[in-house]
Amino acid sequence: MGIRILPSQLIDQIAAGEVVERPAAVVKELVENALDAGATRIDLEIEAGGTRLIRVTDNGIGIDDAELALALSRHATSKITSLEDLEALGTLGFRGEALPSIASVARLKLTSRTASADTASSIAAEGGELATPRPAAHPFGTTVEVRDLFFNTPARRKFLRTERTEFGHLELVAKNLALARFDVEFALKHNRRQLWRLPVATDRARQEARLVELCGEAFLEHARHFEREIEGMRLSGWLAAPTFSRSQPDMQFTFVNGRFVRDKLLRHAVRLAYADVLFQARQPAYVLFLRLDPKRVDVNAHPAKLEIRFRDSRLVHDFVFRTVETALATPVESASPLGLPALGVSAAAGGGGVALGTAPGASLPRQSALSLGGRPPASGEYVPLYARLHGRETAAATSVADREDREDREVPPLGFALAQLSGVYVLAENREGLIVVDMHAAHERITYERMKLELARDRVLSQPLLLPVVLKVSEREAEIAEAHGEEIERLGFSLVRRGPSEVQVAAVPVLLADSGVDALVRDVLSDLAENHGARRIERSIDELLATMACHGAVRANRTLTLAEMNALLREMEQTERIDQCNHGRPTWTQISLAELDRLFLRGQ
């Protein structure tokens, strides 16, 4: 058989193999076209799980009657004209493949009317054969009807599952699309039954109402809204508490620049952030929106455009990991049942801080928050804790310390532990009143200072792993591990390069022995590769130790016994610079009895 060019209908059918896997994929392509056409309302009508009928109606810009046939031709698109357009894509589609592919394996009818047309036109196609367009009745916008999917490709038709399974896939796709675009109204009907009608949701309350429709009441009850923006990247969304974990990854919605994607990198980053608060086998639930310059994303990596590539993947991973981790560790601001004014100011998170809101469904109004976060002890009397204990206080502070010296003898400065609050704070009582400690922040500082001490003496104390771990890293990171072996050893690691992009870890710092080796070593290597490769490690040693300490610190939501809490308090008292964590956030605060009295209007 000689070489020949394939007939164009066959080419479309081959393309359809990639783009039109099943009814759900048709829905994705048609709704994305409607969104690209600027629709503010999209109606989906499905019959028999999408195998008999998929009808998508929108109120977008429409298609000119002269271009109807063109829309159904291969590689015909109105969305890009050059490679530059592709590199900074503002639309969901760009391949010009969906409509011809679908038309080649189904009975398709495209009806449309633009704002300037007096009437609508319609064109039919059956197995890729186009009929002549004819006038039709239709309001502004477009309807695409797809009937009898795979009617002419019996082999593929056999791969379709039951109506229920196909509809399940289809509904999941529709859910994703409806979550991606709160600014668009969606409706879904299956076998003439109305399943959803989702009005435009511009404010948080309406968005959360849509979330309840799509993800269920329970999700929202356990979820918290968050958002964070740095360096041109913005991450926002809802994270379910670990208590709402699932056995399947069926509630993990990720969107990049309004496009729903199944991205391994994003999922991995989120998974890692949940790692310390979730059992291994459980899956977190979340809805996440990442926005960044389209130039930093390559969407042309997958025929159905479900996978993407980030140009600076490490940066994105890091940003997502840290943001989610912080959001998970930040407590829900507790409500003051008496509606009292807020106490003090909450932690000065600085640029790029995480702002957390809470989901409705909780019984208490949470706006009048009692934020205990970052209040330094009353300014006039402020004496660093360590200084108080070790006599290194400033002159101004001496008198205060002296005065308290006698009284404080039996009760330690940070007092005795009473309880743990919301898995995040340790509450303790000292002579002055209530002490609130952010246990993660405090532990991080303790770990950091201890490692610095060990290093100053000689090297960070190291502990061999029971079984060495082999990690895949980038070539550059493997090179760094090789080139800086000695210095890395001083940091408490034993790392050997095992191949072009593999390292073997045989030991880690004692203080970090309980943290995930994988993430820890990766962080150290990537830190070295990204920031310090050229410089001597010596100069950035503190940054490195801080990165490491972050891994070793107890995570929020770990239950501590009273004895453990007291041990933490005693360690804090022994630690320099304990008043702030490595990121500059406060680690503890005092609320005096006098302040508590004022709150309850005592003695007035």
* Residues lying near ligand ADP in the complex (CB under 6 A): 29, 33-34, 37, 58, 60-63, 71, 76-79, 93-99, 142
Least spacing, CB of residue 146 vs ligand ADP, in Å: 12
Using DSSP's 3-state secondary structure scheme, residue 413 falls into: coil
Least spacing, CB of residue 447 vs ligand ADP, in Å: 52
- The one of ligand ADP, Mg ion, none whose footprint includes residue 79, by CB under 5 to 8 A per kind, is ligand ADP
Asked if residue 101 binds Mg ion (CB under 5 A), the reply is no
CB burial readout 423-438, b (16+ within 10 A) else e: bbbbbbbbebebbbbb
Instruction: Give whichever of 143 and 582 is closer to Mg ion, judged by the CB atom.
Output: 143
CA distances, 45 to each of 61, 92, 180, 378 (Å)? 20, 22, 19, 63
Least spacing, CB of residue 581 vs Mg ion, in Å: 48
Least spacing, CB of residue 535 vs Mg ion, in Å: 48
Closest-by-Cβ residue to Mg ion is: 93
Q: Which stretch binds Mg ion (CB under 5 A): 9-17, 25-33, 213-221, 296-304?
A: 25-33
Least spacing, CB of residue 119 vs ligand ADP, in Å: 17
Closest-by-Cβ residue to ligand ADP is: 93
- The one of Mg ion, ligand ADP, none whose footprint includes residue 375, by CB under 5 to 8 A per kind, is none
Q: Which stretch binds Mg ion (CB under 5 A): 91-99, 110-118, 344-352, 445-453?
A: 91-99
Residue for token pair 């969906």: 98
- The one of Mg ion, ligand ADP, none whose footprint includes residue 78, by CB under 5 to 8 A per kind, is ligand ADP
Measured between alpha carbons, how far is 461 from 454 in angstroms, rounded to an integer? 7
Measured between alpha carbons, how far is 117 from 543 in angstroms, rounded to an integer? 64
Say how far residue 164 (Cα) sits from the centre of its chain: 31
Measured between alpha carbons, how far is 212 from 425 in angstroms, rounded to an integer? 30
Instruction: Give whichever of 12 and 276 is closer to ligand ADP, judged by the CB atom.
Output: 12
Instruction: Give whichever of 93 and 377 is closer to Mg ion, judged by the CB atom.
Output: 93
Instruction: Give whichever of 33 and 252 is closer to ligand ADP, judged by the CB atom.
Output: 33
Q: Residue 254: phi, psi to the nearest 5?
A: -125, 135
Instruction: Give whichever of 63 and 437 is closer to ligand ADP, judged by the CB atom.
Output: 63
Instruction: Give whichever of 57 and 326 is closer to ligand ADP, judged by the CB atom.
Output: 57
Least spacing, CB of residue 145 vs ligand ADP, in Å: 12
Least spacing, CB of residue 82 vs Mg ion, in Å: 18
Instruction: Give whichever of 305 and 445 is closer to ligand ADP, judged by the CB atom.
Output: 305
Measured between alpha carbons, how far is 209 from 267 in angstroms, rounded to an integer? 25
Least spacing, CB of residue 148 vs ligand ADP, in Å: 19
Residue 88 and residue 295 in contact, taking contact as beta carbons nearer than 8 Å: yes
- The one of ligand ADP, Mg ion, none whose footprint includes residue 60, by CB under 5 to 8 A per kind, is ligand ADP
Least spacing, CB of residue 99 vs ligand ADP, in Å: 4
Question: E strands within 534-601?
Answer: 588-592
- The one of ligand ADP, Mg ion, none whose footprint includes residue 49, by CB under 5 to 8 A per kind, is none
Asked if residue 100 binds Mg ion (CB under 5 A), the reply is no
Q: Fill in the amino acid letter for 565.
A: M
Q: Fill in the amino acid letter for 459.
A: R
CA angle 117, 122, 127 (to 5 degrees): 150
Kindly state the number of chain residues that form the binding site for Mg ion, as judged by CB under 5 A. 3
Asked if residue 98 binds Mg ion (CB under 5 A), the reply is yes
Across the strands, what pairs with 289?
236, 255
Instruction: Give whichever of 58 and 432 is closer to ligand ADP, judged by the CB atom.
Output: 58
Q: Residue 124: phi, psi to the nearest 5?
A: -115, 150
Among 320, 347, 321, smallest CA distance to 333 is for 347
Residue for token pair 């208590």: 243
Asked if residue 96 binds Mg ion (CB under 5 A), the reply is no
Measured between alpha carbons, how far is 499 from 436 in angstroms, rounded to an integer? 49
Asked if residue 102 binds Mg ion (CB under 5 A), the reply is no
CA distances, 138 to each of 44, 57, 115, 135 (Å)? 16, 10, 11, 10
Asked if residue 33 binds Mg ion (CB under 5 A), the reply is yes
Residue 566 and residue 406 in contact, taking contact as beta carbons nearer than 8 Å: no
Least spacing, CB of residue 142 vs ligand ADP, in Å: 4
Least spacing, CB of residue 286 vs ligand ADP, in Å: 29
Asked if residue 93 binds Mg ion (CB under 5 A), the reply is yes
**Residues in Cβ contact with 139 at an 8 Å cutoff, skipping those fewer than 6 apart:** 59, 113, 120
**Residues in Cβ contact with 404 at an 8 Å cutoff, skipping those fewer than 6 apart:** 388, 431
**Residues in Cβ contact with 200 at an 8 Å cutoff, skipping those fewer than 6 apart:** 40, 182, 183, 184, 185, 206
Instruction: Give whichever of 97 and 571 is closer to Mg ion, judged by the CB atom.
Output: 97
Instruction: Give whichever of 124 and 359 is closer to ligand ADP, judged by the CB atom.
Output: 124
Instruction: Give whichever of 98 and 524 is closer to ligand ADP, judged by the CB atom.
Output: 98
Contact residues toward Mg ion (CB under 5 A) are: 33, 93, 98
